Amino acid sequence: MSQPVPVAPRKSRLGCAAQFWLIIGAAFLFLLAFQAIFMPWAYYLGGHFHYLPEWDGMGTVHAADGRDYIIFVSIYPNVRHPGRYDTSLQGTGYVCTPKGEKIQLKASASMDKHLGMDTQGKKIRIGMHRTGTLASVVNSDYRPSIEFYGIWGRDEIAVDDRGSLGRAFEPDGSVYTGHSPKRGPSFPAVQFTIRAATSGEFDKACSSQM
């Protein structure tokens, strides 16, 4: 009797790489849909609609000692930790020091719960600290650590640092690394505005500090 001829498995029309990116794309669309349903305010950060649920902004701090610090922040909803009593966001921040040093920071933010579509006039707290360095891992030292308390406007946030920048930096613009309990801020609290901007605009502004 003749042996049955084995049937070769049908080859997928999509290669492994294509299937991988198809899965990634589907997961990304699912995340966007989830945020659109449960966090619609994320698409209106700054007071108008945008296709991605995030907001980028930059502001220049004119310290009392005449030195400038440029702040950049990029925030989006924290879907893993939405917050029980407030609205949680996460992202990335940068500080460009008067010396032109660009310091990358981890950003987190919180707003009131049950937001509507329009964030204008709503409060927001933004915190940023360094992470991922050897010092932060070994010594639990996350300096510089800064925070801002602000109110949303039209594509901008008017903020008050409540002295956090002065506590985080020395008078010469370097990061304070001491441990003196009596040390006060190197300059008074500052109020400034973080306006919508791209990372490229921040890089250009920071390079002019050097």
- DSSP secondary structure of the chain: -PPPPPPPPPPPSS-HHHHHHHHHHHHHHHHHHHHHHH-GGGGGTTSS--SSS-EEEEEEEE-TTS-EEEEEEEEEE-SS---SSEEEEEEEEEEE-TT--EEEEEEEEEEESS--S--TT-EEEEEEE--SSHHHHHH----SEEEEEEEEETTEEEEE-TTHHHHHB-TTSPBP----TT---SS---EEEEEE--HHHHHHHHHTT-
Task: Give the pLDDT confidence score for residue 101 in this predicted structure.
Answer: 94
Task: Give the pLDDT confidence score for residue 27 in this predicted structure.
Answer: 55
The two three-digit tokens of residue 169, written as one number: 């930096």
Nearby residues of 206 by Cβ (< 8 Å), 6 or more positions away? 70, 94, 96, 100, 102
Q: Which amino acid is at 2?
A: S
Q: Which amino acid is at 58?
A: M
Nearby residues of 69 by Cβ (< 8 Å), 6 or more positions away? 60, 61, 63, 95, 96, 97, 98, 165, 169, 173
Residue 87, strand partner residues: 111
The two three-digit tokens of residue 85, written as one number: 């009593």
Give 10-residue mean pLDDT values along the chain (210 residues). Answer: 55 61 57 62 88 94 92 90 72 95 96 82 96 68 94 96 96 92 91 97 92
Task: Give the pLDDT confidence score for residue 209 in this predicted structure.
Answer: 86
- Compute the distance between CA of residue 7 and CA of residue 9 in angstroms, rounded to an integer: 6
Contact 194, 71 (CB under 8 A): yes
Q: Which amino acid is at 172?
A: D
Residue 147, strand partner residues: 127
Give the chain's end-to-end CA distance (angstroms, integer).
86
Task: Give the pLDDT confidence score for residue 19 in this predicted structure.
Answer: 67
